[in-house]
Amino acid sequence: MTVHTWLRRARRTLLAVGATTALTAALIAGTETASQAATQGPCDLYASGGTPCVAAHSTTRALYGGYGGALYQVRRASDGATRDIGVLSTGGYANAAAQDAFCAGTTCVITVIYDQSGRGNSLTQAPAGGAAGGPDNLAPATAAPVTVAGHKAYGVYVAAGTGYRNNKTNGIATGDQPEGMYAVLDGTHFGGGCCFDYGNAETNNLDTGNGHMEAIYFGDSTIWGSGTGKGPWVMADLENGLFSGVNAGYNANDPSVSHRFLTAMVKGAPNLWAIKAGNAQSGGLSTYYNGVRPNVSGYNPMHKEGAIILGIGGDNSKSSSGTFYEGVMTSGYPTDATDNAVQANLNAVNYQTAAVTSSNLTVGSRVSLKATTACCTGDYLRHNADSTVAISPLSSASSAADRTDATWIVRSGLANSACLTFESAAAPGQYLRHYGFQLHTAAGDGTAVFNQDATFCPQAGHSGQGFSFQSANYPNRFIRHYAYTGYVAGDGVGGNTWDSAASWSEDTSWLAATPLS
Ligand code: AHR
Ligand code: AHR
């Protein structure tokens, strides 16, 4: 018997006797080498527990030890060609280098997220629905870089307006049938609109009534429900309500959670459902709700329809945002022991943030930030004599004064040395900062608020081009141009005109260009 087989049998036995706790599973996982760990995917654990995956989606890794097929498909802008991105080895991790080679010199979007369960429940561009037109946007393929088990991979970056769906599924729970689901999400990327979801929804893109959905929701919407703190919360979208507990509204047992890698779970059976979550990188799961169905007409029994959505609500509401790395849906209500084993598997694969930088963004270098939106590809972020910040068309032929106003010296972040501060090349000692969410240049005054206002954390560009710069003190806001003026802006959230979701991904993506001066 090989070590793998022995481990698999041992784990199955433990699951069978119900003795598997997160600790036991973690101990077993801990005794495996990295490649052996990959031989047990979450879907092997669900199968061992008697609740097999009927949909398994991930752009980062195989979710079965035996899966060696394509994970997702990308389409490049230059010629419209598509390419399947597979795994480095059976049961292993995404071949990100294949994507990088295929998309070199252009941009790519994710067109298909394949179902690894063999049931054909793949996700593709969501069509129009009752709440919003379509088709929805596709996620840029490079906007959510990570490492998983040390391998580079890309997640699915959902800006408001982006969505995936499958209305013709096979094996997904319908009616009041039991199911479970988990997703690994970026707990720092969320919005307050409706609805960043993953799970079971209507097959006709319409709100067909209470109980017609059962999906994981993540975000800080308070339209229907909330938990403690300011959010974001993991809730269940059961249609016409985001539930943080037995009924919509406030439920004190649902805490704000923002782990960089968040495990979110929802499961449902006749008159029973649960919300769980945890830090995917370490530790176990917490149960935020476990009990009966809402005592409002329509939710007991449920009327699940069995479509699958990602990034949107059941009626294609697409006003929210989030990032998805992997997730599954099961047939049957998983046991807590199985949930714990899946969480231990996630701990073992060790999702990590990928470093995002360029030589022009290293501390001490000079950089010019070039806009990428189609309107404005010749424009650079610059300050004016009155200290306001704007974009304007510049080139090497522009005046020295203009070029210097569009050149920044990269400094270590005043409030966080892992991030950056931009000092004006024209006015040393003056820094790019936001004030009232508008960008200005101003002399540093040493206060904590100034330092925060002047600190920005670079991320992969939201549109798939260049970089996006996150405000250190308002992490939902990024350096943006809007009406040719500089702001920090949220993706459809924030309440200012410049927080418009239209063009947000493009307006917040900047090339770290050769300094104009
Ligand atoms: O339940 C919340 C949302 O309400 C659903 O996602 C959507 O279909 C409806 O608008
Ligand atoms: O800043 C120029 C354009 O103004 C932006 O692309 C858009 O957000 C707004 O209409």
Per-residue pLDDT of the chain (517 residues; tens, 9 = 90+): 333 433 343 343 333 333 333 333 333 333 334 444 448 999 999 999 999 999 999 999 999 999 999 999 999 999 999 999 999 999 999 999 999 999 999 999 999 999 999 999 999 999 999 999 999 999 999 999 999 999 999 999 999 999 999 999 999 999 999 999 999 999 999 999 999 999 999 999 999 999 999 999 999 999 999 999 999 999 999 999 999 999 999 999 999 999 999 999 999 999 999 999 999 999 999 999 999 999 999 999 999 999 999 999 999 999 999 999 999 999 999 999 999 999 999 999 999 999 888 889 999 999 999 999 999 999 999 999 999 999 999 999 999 999 999 999 999 999 999 999 999 999 999 999 999 999 999 999 999 999 999 999 999 999 999 999 999 999 999 999 999 999 999 999 999 999 999 999 999 999 999 999 9
Amino acid at 149: A
Q: Name the residue of 239, 299, 303, 310 whose CB sits within 8 Å of the most ligand 1 atoms, as the mutation to test its pocket.
A: 239
Amino acid at 399: S
- DSSP code string of 294-325: PSSTTSSS--B--EEEESS-TT------EEEE
Task: Indicate if the alpha-carbon torsion angle 477, 262, 240, 130 is positive or negative.
Answer: positive
> Residue 357: what pLDDT?
81
- Cβ-based neighbours of 89, under 8 Å, separated by 6 or more: 35, 38, 68
- Cβ-based neighbours of 6, under 8 Å, separated by 6 or more: none
Tokens 């990602």 belong to 310
Where is 382: in which H helix or E strand? strand 379-383
Q: 179 catalytic, yes or no?
A: no
Residue 176 phi, psi dihedral angles, 5° rounding: -105, 15
Cβ(369)–Cβ(513) below 8 Å: yes
Residues with CB under 6 A from ligand 1: 131, 194-195, 207, 237, 239-242, 313-315, 317
Residue 439 C-alpha to ligand 2 middle, in angstroms?
15
Closest-lying ligand 2 atom to the alpha carbon of residue 482? 1
- Alpha carbons 338 and 283: distance in angstroms, whole number: 15
Cβ(133)–Cβ(502) below 8 Å: no
Residue 411 C-alpha to ligand 2 middle, in angstroms?
28
Q: Is 58 strand, coil or helix?
A: strand
Residue 290 C-alpha to ligand 1 middle, in angstroms?
22
Residue 434 C-alpha to ligand 2 middle, in angstroms?
18
Q: 32 catalytic, yes or no?
A: no
Residues with CB under 6 A from ligand 2: 373, 375-376, 481-484, 503, 507
Q: Name the residue of 165, 195, 310 whose CB sits within 8 Å of the most ligand 1 atoms, as the mutation to test its pocket.
A: 195
- Alpha carbons 324 and 268: distance in angstroms, whole number: 21
> Residue 455: what pLDDT?
98
Nearest CA to ligand 2 atom 7: 482
**Whole-model pTM?**
0.89
Q: Name the residue of 503, 504, 510 whose CB sits within 8 Å of the most ligand 2 atoms, as the mutation to test its pocket.
A: 503
Closest-lying ligand 1 atom to the alpha carbon of residue 238? 1
- Alpha carbons 139 and 76: distance in angstroms, whole number: 12
Tokens 């097999």 belong to 52
- Alpha carbons 460 and 468: distance in angstroms, whole number: 6
Residue 115 phi, psi dihedral angles, 5° rounding: -85, 120
Nearest CA to ligand 1 atom 8: 314
- Alpha carbons 101 and 214: distance in angstroms, whole number: 38
Tokens 């609805």 belong to 195
- Alpha carbons 281 and 259: distance in angstroms, whole number: 9
Encoding tokens for residue 399? 């005046």
> Residue 39: what pLDDT?
81
Selected catalytic residue, list 197, 207, 305, 315: 315
Residue 420 C-alpha to ligand 2 middle, in angstroms?
24
Selected catalytic residue, list 202, 207, 239, 423: 239
- Cβ-based neighbours of 290, under 8 Å, separated by 6 or more: 273, 274, 275
For 347-365, how does the pLDDT look when each residue is reduced to its tens digit (9 = 90+)?
999 999 998 888 899 999 9
For 204-243, how does the pLDDT look when each residue is reduced to its tens digit (9 = 90+)?
999 999 999 999 999 999 999 999 999 999 999 999 999 9
Give Dmax (Cα) for the chain: 77
